[in-house]
Chain A
Amino acid sequence: MRLLAAFLLAVIAAPALAQGSAPPAPYAYRQLDDPAQEAAAQELMETLRCLKCQSQSIADSDAPMAGDMRHQVRIRIAAGEQPEDVRAWLMQRYGDYVSYAPVVSARTWPLFVLPIVFLLTIAAVLWRRFGKGKV
Chain B
Amino acid sequence: MNWRVWLPLMLFALFLGVAAYQLTQPKDDVVTSGMIGQELPYFELPPAHSENPGVTTADLRDGKPRLLNIWASWCLPCIAEAPQLEALKEQGAEIVGIAIRDDPEDVAQFLARHGNPYTRIGRDDLSEVQLGIGSSGVPETFVIDGNGVITYQHIGDIRADDVPVLLEKLREAGA
Contacts and interface: CB of A to CB of B under 8 A. Distances in A.
A51 B130 CA distance: 12
Interface string B125-136: 111101111101
A33 to B, nearest CB: 19
Nearest to A97: B31
Interface residues of A, number: 24
Contacts of A105: none
Interface string A59-101: 0000011001101100000000000000000111111011000
A6 interface: no
Nearest to B72: A20
B11 to A, nearest CB: 10
Nearest to A92: B34
A44 B101 CA distance: 24
Interface of B: 29, 31-35, 72-74, 100-103, 106, 125-128, 130-134, 136-137
Contact of A72 (B72, B102, B128): B128
A58 B136 CA distance: 13
B74 A18 contact: yes
10 contacts: A18-B74, A51-B136, A51-B137, A64-B127, A69-B127, A92-B34, A93-B131, A93-B132, A94-B33, A98-B31
B103 A21 contact: yes
Contacts of B134: 92-94
Contact of A20 (B33, B101, B130, B133): B101
B74 A69 contact: no
Contacts of B101: 19-20, 22, 64, 68
A20 B31 contact: no
Contacts of B73: 20
The 9 closest A-B pairs by CB, nearest first: A93-B134, A68-B127, A20-B74, A51-B136, A22-B101, A25-B126, A20-B101, A93-B34, A97-B31
B137 A52 contact: yes
B34 A19 contact: no
B90 to A, nearest CB: 29
Contacts of B102: 20, 22
A17 interface: yes
Given A93-B131, A94-B31, 4 more contacts: A20-B72, A93-B132, A95-B31, A97-B31
A64 B134 CA distance: 16
Nearest to A71: B126
A97 B33 CA distance: 11
Contacts of B72: 20
B128 A22 contact: no
Interface string A1-38: 00000000000000001111110010000000000000
